[in-house]
Amino acid sequence: MVPPGLYAIGHPSPDDPVLVTANYKMSYDIVRQALAGRSVWLLVLETYGINVWCAAGKGTFGTGEVVRRVTSSGLARVVRHRRLILPILGAPGVSAHQVAQRCGFSVSYAAIRAADLPAYLDSGLVTAPAMREMSFSFYERLVLIPVELVLALKSIALAGGALFLLFAISSGRAAALSALLAWFGASLTGIVAGPLLLPWLPGRSFAVKGAVAGLVWSALFLLLSGGNQWNILVKSAVFLVLPAVSAFYTLNFTGCTPFTSRSGVKKEMRTAIPAMGGALLLGALLVLLGTFY
Amino acid sequence: MKGFRYLRNVATLELDRSVCIGCGRCLEVCPHQVFALADKKASLVDREVCMECGACALNCPVKAIAVDSGVGCASGLINEWLQERNLRKLGGGGCCS
């Protein structure tokens, strides 16, 4: 975490612009990198090590903190102008007109990405249309996946262990290994394949996208584990349970995207969660029937 | 935003054009280009892509915009649901806990 406060990049004069960012180490570094070779002021807010977008959502990158930091740093004595330059993704936490009322500094929202700051400054503080357009490219999705994997690891390992024991006791080692493969595959399909293939998976609902990817994994799993000889009950269970698992994890990815709304996620959860629960129950029942009859 | 559109008919965004003074702040803060200026007032050109971040409503100096804002995050909503029922927080933490 970077200590909040006013920083000088290069050798800024009282007329040089003041940019505002969060005290997440990566935000701070990226902004500094983008501004290398220039002379500007950088006002770092206390967001408790959280990035601009998430902190704005929580309100820590907010009106109160901007005003507090402007006051405590004595910014009005350091610069002659009265303008703050903020990232666009900070706007959900900051009310520009209230900042102006409370500390006398006007707010300009510059760009979404720090990489656009040089162009913004060079063009006389004008935001080109592309600078306020969100993107979510393959690469931008890819870099999010490792964190998602780590966050899910514990629950995947626990459930995997329980599943393994259950099948080992009831049907032996081979079945237990198959169940473990099915479970890991379905989880990875939901956490890795779903997000990466997001624009190409059918439907708008994340749960549907995840379920479709899960269906593909179900077929692949049957091929891999020689499940063609299994009875129809167990085979049906595979196509019920695995897509439900993948759907759950892909639905979880809504929190990582810059375009899903709260109302939308609520709406799809109202149908998706009961559907997943039903699929899991029915699948478990079919496996029981298929194993013992 | 090119290439991505979420569910239809769910956005709670409302704009009262009779109150709008046409300052253009909402156009500045919206990351999905939901607004445009027409006849010196803001208008909703693509309401469906609204992700309900709330930036426009918070930055509107005349309160012409209303939106039920929040984060579109499934695990956040699950955590919220569990907390409302005083259940112990289950599963991983994540960003929205």
pLDDT tens digit sequence for A185-226: 999 999 999 999 999 999 999 999 999 999 999 999 999 988
> In terms of domains, do A182 and A58 share one?
no
Neighbours of A285 (CB within 10 A): 13
Residue A68 sits in the same domain as residue A159: no
Q: ipTM for the complex?
A: 0.89
Nearest CB to A261: which of B4, B52, B59? B52
For residue B14, the surrounding DSSP H or E stretch is: strand B14-15
Same domain, A279 and A164: yes
Phi, psi of A137 (to 5 degrees): -70, 170
Last residue of a domain, one of A99, A132, A165: A132
Q: A124 and A44 in one domain? A: yes
**CA–CA separation, A33 and A132 (whole Å):** 20
Last residue of a domain, one of A77, A103, A132: A132
Read off the tokens for A108: 């300009």
Chain B CA closest to residue A96: B59
- The arithmetic mean of pLDDT across residues A12-37, rounded, is 96
Range of the domain at B43: 14-84
Q: Do A136 and B91 touch (CB under 8 A)?
A: no
* Residue A106, both tokens: 């006007």
Q: Which chain B positions have a beta carbon within 8 Å of A263's beta carbon?
A: 10-12, 52, 68, 72
**pLDDT tier for residue A229 given thresholds of 50, 70 and 90:** confident
Same domain for A161 and A70? Answer: no
Query: How confident is chain B (97 residues) per 10-residue block, as mean pLDDT?
Result: 85 95 96 94 94 96 95 85 73 50
Domain with residue B23: its CATH number is: 3.30.70.20
Residues in CB range of A259: below 8 A, 6 or more apart? A134, A136, B1, B4, B5, B6, B32, B49, B51
Chains A, B: CB pairs < 8 Å: 136
Percent of chain A with pLDDT over 90: 90
**From B90, which residue of chain A is nearest by alpha-carbon distance?**
A155
Instruction: State how far the alpha carbon of A180 is from the alpha carbons of A175, A281, B51, in Å.
Output: 9, 18, 37
As a whole number of angstroms, the distance between CA A171 and CA B73 comes to 39
Same domain (yes/no): A188, A261: yes
Residue of A nearest to B74 (CA): A252
- The alpha carbon of residue B96 is apart from the nearest alpha carbon of chain A, in Å, by 8
pTM for the whole structure: 0.89
Predicted confidence band at A230 (pLDDT cuts at 50, 70, 90)?
A: confident
Specify whether A58 is located in the same domain as A147: no
Q: Select the residue of B4, B11, B91 nearest A263 (Cβ to Cβ).
A: B11
Task: Give CA angle at A61 (A74, A48), nearest 5°.
Answer: 90
CA distances from A230 to A18, A178, A281, B14 (A): 67, 12, 20, 55
Q: Is the model's pLDDT at A1 over the cut of 90?
A: no
Of B28, B32, B54, the CB nearest to A134: B32
Between CA A212 and CA A200 the distance in angstroms is: 11
- Chain A contact for B51 (CB, 8 A cutoff): yes
**Domain membership of residue A259 as a residue range:** 138-292
Q: How many domains does chain B have?
A: 1
pLDDT > 80? residue A51: yes
